[in-house]
A = this chain, B = another copy of it.
Amino acid sequence: MNEFADPSTQRQHFRHLEQARAQVIELLSRQAVERELMQRTVSENRRQDVVAQLVARQHQAALETRLAHFHPADIAFVLESLDPDARDLAWALVKPERRGAVLLETSDAVRRMLVAGMAPDDIAAVVAPLDSDDIADLVGSLPDDIGQEVLQRLDNADQAEVRSMLSFPEDSVGSLMDLDFVAVREDASLEAVLRLLRRRKTLPPHTNQLFVVDRGNQLRGLLSLTRLLLADPESEVAAEMTRDTIFFYTDDRMREAVTAFEKYDLVSAPVVNLHNQVVGRITVDAIVDEIKERASTESLRQVGLSEEEDLFAPVTQSARNRWPWLGLNVLTAFVASRVIGAFEDTIAQLVALAVLMPIVASIGGNTGNQTMALVIRGLALGQLGAAQLRKMLTKELSIAALNGAVWGSALGLFTLLLYRNLPLTLVIAGATILELMVAALAGVFIPLLLQRFGRDPVMGSSVILTAITDSMGFFIFLGLAATFLI
């Protein structure tokens, strides 16, 4: 984004910017409301309407100037913070030549909404000035038919590059690489490399090293800018480069790249094809975006929400987004209810059972979620091999037994004080121990099984776990009660 970085947006301390951004959001929101009011009063008083329009236009000009000084990432932030009316207003104020850069910074949901109002010709005009990797990023997030129409309007070279980027699987390093990099030969002198660079006038952002390749464009090593600056200009690239380096294949998963960047504190790394030819570069800004994206969606996915929900999408659309998991939840809650239904006679004989059974289920749900959060984290960090897994399972079951004994006794005591019924006391204590062990098993195995079957181990995990701990909690408690009390 460096080419758009207006100095005045990066001035001084970035907190000023936050204030400016908040003001613009406030102004735009107010304007959207004013416009609506204006439209309502149009028929009532024509003259008042003209004045209002003049005032609105003045505001608009002022806003346009302020937006023009914002970094594209800040404009994207403003757009994401606005409801659809104000968002349209703001989008109209962004200069056409900056729209591509702004689209690159928005979330997919907001991007699709902004683009939905544009003709394919306009979209093509907006994206054409961008690099082909950025175009691929944008086009890849559009609905297929619109994406194809936009592609057909690009020139042939761009089209070919974009199509090749789009052919990489989602979440692969290839799909997120940067095609712009500087390659040099082993036998060149540093002096010659410096001359080459000066002719280029500029380096791609995040260039901390040059890629050393042979005639066949195969990766031979890396030359850091630091060496280039500090070493004797007469020396050869081969003498100053690092031969052993981390690189990625285009079909490596981004997850692997994230781990490597995090561990080895990288800024950039070469991406090669199956013939070890350098085809691109992966840079730390893509890694930061990737981590941030995953981080901000994990809790959403846990409750079965897709990562893409726009905060200001229409109510009906958002409501429907939640239906699949809500429907599953209704179904599993119904199953849990049938478990209770099977013990209706038992409950009819001892209503205290109905009063106490949700306690067992609730504790199971919460402790199961604790175990599951630890397992999901272990999976994400790659710490759960077969040996570790066995240890962890034993450990979680032991914790469940211990905590079940401690808190089961506490619950037993409550029960004894309330109902003066010793057998009932023993039943609730025993049920708590068993339920916590079931919850530990569910917490360990749900994410593992989801992953084993090629699913996201986080998606909906919390809904599935609660379904199991609820049904089993009721079954264990009422089953023990029916056996020993009635």
Q: Which of A194, A200, A297, A318 has the most CB of B within 10 A?
A: A318
Stretch of A49-57, A153-161, A334-342 with 4 or more beta carbons under 8 angstroms from chain B: A334-342
Contact between chains at A243 and B7 (CB < 8 Å): yes
Cβ of A168 < 8 Å from any Cβ of B?
no
Nearest residue (CB) in B for A15 is B256
Tell me which residues across on chain B come within 8 A of A287, comparing CB atoms.
288
CA distance in complex: A242, B15 (Å) = 19
Nearest residue (CB) in B for A291 is B291
A194-B229, A402-B315 known; A265+B244 contact, CB < 8 A: no
Cβ of A42 < 8 Å from any Cβ of B?
no
Stretch of A114-122, A131-139, A319-327 with 4 or more beta carbons under 8 angstroms from chain B: A319-327
Tell me which residues across on chain B come within 8 A of A256, comparing CB atoms.
14-15
Cβ of A474 < 8 Å from any Cβ of B?
yes
Contact between chains at A245 and B10 (CB < 8 Å): yes
Contact residues, A9-32 vs B (CB, 8 A): 10-15, 22, 25-26, 29
Contact between chains at A377 and B299 (CB < 8 Å): yes
B-contact bits for A381-421, CB 8 A (1 contact / 0 none): 11101011001100100110011001100110010001000
Tell me which residues across on chain B come within 8 A of A243, comparing CB atoms.
7
Cβ of A333 < 8 Å from any Cβ of B?
yes
Contact between chains at A1 and B265 (CB < 8 Å): yes
A333-B363, A355-B340 known; A373+B303 contact, CB < 8 A: yes
Contact between chains at B81 and A373 (CB < 8 Å): no
Stretch of A95-103, A142-150, A203-211 with 4 or more beta carbons under 8 angstroms from chain B: A203-211
Tell me which residues across on chain B come within 8 A of A105, comparing CB atoms.
263
CA distance in complex: A262, B474 (Å) = 47
Nearest residue (CB) in B for A261 is B288
CA distance in complex: A14, B206 (Å) = 22
Tell me which residues across on chain B come within 8 A of A11, comparing CB atoms.
244-245
Contact residues, A64-87 vs B (CB, 8 A): 71, 73-74, 77, 80-81, 83
State which of B25, B247, B298, B330 has its C-beta within 8 Å of the C-beta of A13. Answer: B247
Contact between chains at A298 and B295 (CB < 8 Å): yes
Contact residues, A259-310 vs B (CB, 8 A): 260-265, 267, 284-285, 287-289, 291-292, 294-300, 302-305, 309
Contact between chains at A351 and B344 (CB < 8 Å): yes
Contact between chains at A318 and B399 (CB < 8 Å): yes
What is the distance, in angstroms, from A406's C-beta to the closest C-beta of chain B?
8
Contact between chains at B26 and A463 (CB < 8 Å): no
CA distance in complex: A398, B354 (Å) = 32
Tell me which residues across on chain B come within 8 A of A62, comparing CB atoms.
none
CA distance in complex: A5, B245 (Å) = 11
Nearest residue (CB) in B for A296 is B377
Tell me which residues across on chain B come within 8 A of A403, comparing CB atoms.
319, 322-323, 326
What is the distance, in angstroms, from A89's C-beta to the closest C-beta of chain B?
14
Tell me which residues across on chain B come within 8 A of A411, comparing CB atoms.
330, 334
Contact between chains at A230 and B197 (CB < 8 Å): yes
Shortest beta-carbon contacts, A-B, top 7: A295-B295, A354-B354, A73-B263, A265-B285, A11-B244, A333-B362, A333-B359
- Other A-B pairs beyond A1-B265, A206-B208, A305-B373, 14, CB < 8 Å: A1-B264, A7-B243, A14-B260, A71-B263, A73-B264, A80-B383, A201-B230, A203-B226, A265-B288, A296-B380, A329-B363, A330-B410, A340-B355, A344-B355
24 contacts between A and B (CB under 8 A): A7-B242, A7-B243, A10-B246, A198-B229, A206-B265, A206-B267, A228-B229, A267-B267, A284-B284, A288-B291, A295-B295, A296-B381, A299-B376, A305-B374, A315-B395, A315-B398, A319-B402, A323-B403, A330-B410, A333-B358, A334-B359, A337-B355, A348-B351, A366-B463
